[in-house]
């Protein structure tokens, strides 16, 4: 017989032998007692309260998906971060150091006195919107600036350390934006000029983190411009004092 004339195999009419059911399959389902249900109820309510709301479709109906449900449950039962872990995360935040300096054609006595009155500082540091003196060692600083096409504002309370007369003033923030810094003064040869150097360290705020390495050069350029303005401001004050012969009023500058 040729292969083309082969007929298909006949179907078998034998019935499959029924499989024996295991003891676990035939066991009656366990009914939770009232005590078990009461013990699990607070846990279930806590999980439900912590779980985020289910996703919704464009029609408003909740979206049911096994993977989404598992993620919701995992989020709900995950333990909150410990205090140590939170402290470690805080310690990993980036701190940036910036410095700038300028030679001011004014004696150190005049330069020192100008920096002692904090209310004058916004004259040469315009990004410092205001400074409110709380007491002899504490002051409240408010910073406002427009950078990267956005408006930013920060504030902090600074505590001054004991100054070194005509050499150094330094501070550290105790509230608000974490920062610390110092301004140092050095008289030039002959006493006709003063070198002013400012150094600040600060923790980069979260809102500036996306700009990464652009923050440090930006702040350094701002500080240089601030000190250039201070040099011009001090020069005008020095000339006013020279005209008056004794002191003069720097408000005329």
pLDDT in tens, 21-77: 555 555 555 555 555 556 566 665 655 555 555 444 444 444 444 544 454 444 444
Report the SS3 class of residue 115. helix
Residues contacting 52, CB < 8 A, separation 6+: 72, 75
Query: DSSP string covering 136-179, please?
Result: SSEEEEEEEEEETTEEEEEEEEEEEPPPBTTTEEEEEEEEES-E
pLDDT tier at 212, thresholds 50, 70, 90: confident
> What distance in Å separates the CA atoms of residue 244 and residue 161, rounded to the nearest whole number?
34
> What distance in Å separates the CA atoms of residue 103 and residue 110, rounded to the nearest whole number?
13
157 within 8 A of 176, measured Cβ to Cβ: yes
> What distance in Å separates the CA atoms of residue 104 and residue 188, rounded to the nearest whole number?
9
CA atoms within 13 A on the CB side of 139: 19
Q: State the distance between the two ends of the chain, measured CA to CA, in whole angstroms.
A: 121
Per-residue confidence (pLDDT) for residue 244, from 0 to 100: 82
Cα-trace Rg, the chain: 37
- Summarised one tens digit per residue, pLDDT across range 155-178 is 999 999 999 999 999 999 999 999
Strand partners, 135: none
What average pLDDT does this structure show over 188-213? 92
Report the SS3 class of residue 9. coil
Does residue 86 have a pLDDT over 60?
no
Instruction: Catalogue the long-range contacts made by 42-49 (C-beta closer than 8 Å, 24 or more residues apart).
Output: 47/73, 47/76, 47/77, 48/76
- Summarised one tens digit per residue, pLDDT across range 111-146 is 999 999 999 999 999 999 999 999 999 999 999 999
What average pLDDT does this structure show over 184-192? 89
């Amino acid at each position: 017989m040729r292969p083309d004339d082969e007929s298909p195999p006949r179907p078998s009419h034998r019935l499959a032998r029924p499989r024996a059911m295991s003891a676990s399959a035939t066991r009656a389902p366990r009914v939770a007692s009232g005590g078990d249900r009461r013990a699990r109820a607070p846990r279930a309510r806590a999980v439900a309260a912590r779980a985020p709301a289910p996703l919704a479709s464009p029609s408003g109906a909740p979206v049911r998906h096994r993977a989404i449900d598992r993620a919701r449950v995992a989020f709900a039962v995950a333990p909150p971060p410990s205090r140590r872990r939170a402290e470690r995360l805080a310690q990993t935040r980036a701190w940036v150091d910036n410095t700038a300096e300028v030679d001011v054609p004014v004696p150190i006595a005049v330069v020192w006195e100008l920096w002692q009155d904090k209310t004058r500082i916004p004259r040469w540091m315009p990004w410092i919107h205001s400074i409110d003196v709380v007491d002899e060692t504490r002051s409240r600083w408010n910073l406002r600036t427009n950078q990267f096409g956005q408006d930013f504002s920060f504030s902090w309370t600074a505590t001054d350390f004991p100054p070194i007369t005509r050499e150094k003033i330094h501070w550290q923030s105790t509230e608000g934006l974490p920062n610390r810094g110092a301004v140092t003064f050095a008289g030039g040869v002959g006493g006709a000029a003063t070198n002013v150097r400012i150094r600040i360290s600060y923790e980069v705020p979260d809102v500036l983190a996306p700009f990464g390495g652009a923050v440090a050069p930006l702040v350094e350029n701002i500080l240089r411009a601030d000190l250039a303005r201070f040099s011009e401001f001090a020069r005008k004050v020095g000339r006013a004092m020279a005209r008056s012969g004794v002191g003069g009023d720097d408000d005329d500058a």
